[in-house]
Amino acid sequence: MSTEDGLVMQIHAGSLRNHNPNIFARFGADMGADIPLATEWTRNLRALLNAYGNDPRFRLILFTLDESSYSRELAPLAGHYPAVKLGPPWWFYDSVNGMRRYFEQVIETAGLYNTAGFNDDTRAFASIPSRHDVWRRVSCDWLAGLVVQGMLAEDEAAAMAYECAYGLAKAAYGAG
């Protein structure tokens, strides 16, 4: 259906919800006590990607709480299939260290332009500006490291910083 309606398919995987029954009983569903879970992407997405992974009308953004799958499965899938983009570090990992690990585990294989930049679907609306600010700062720190190493020119890093902060998300969701 995504090839017909133009909407982006998103998969958020790798979370075992409501793990702690006491927290669930006291606060209800989706109020915490969700624990990361190993997720197998390569085999499970194969039929979908064989059918639509090369279709220019299809866009798929993958999010996970299973950090161990970033470099092993997700980065190679995003680097290979034009339809696949990697969502930003999510939930427990949208932190300074989680974002740094994401850049280290994903970009070398997937490439920056096969990521979706940073988007936010939190219900904690007051946290959105600060989370985006952390993403911008970590992105720029990572890019500055590449400049210092001589792997990027300053003007290239500046262009990529803009993409990290705005352009990648806009392109991934077809917002213009």
pLDDT for res 123: 64
pLDDT at 5 over 70: yes
pLDDT for res 69: 95
* Contact status, residue 14 vs residue 73, Cβ threshold 8 Å: no
pLDDT digits (tens, 9 = 90+) for 41-94: 999 999 999 999 999 999 999 999 999 999 999 999 999 999 999 999 888 788
* Contact status, residue 172 vs residue 59, Cβ threshold 8 Å: yes
Range of the domain at 64: 2-172
Q: How many domains is the chain built from?
A: 1
What is the DSSP annotation of 91-122?
Answer: GGG-SHHHHHHHHHHHHHHH-GGGB-------
- Report the CATH number that the domain containing residue 146 is assigned in CATH: 3.20.20.140
Strand pairing class (9-13; 84-86): unpaired
* Contact status, residue 169 vs residue 123, Cβ threshold 8 Å: no
pLDDT digits (tens, 9 = 90+) for 128-143: 778 889 999 999 999 9
Share of the chain above pLDDT 90, in %: 78
Residue whose C-alpha is closest to residue 59's, from 99, 109, 115, 133: 115
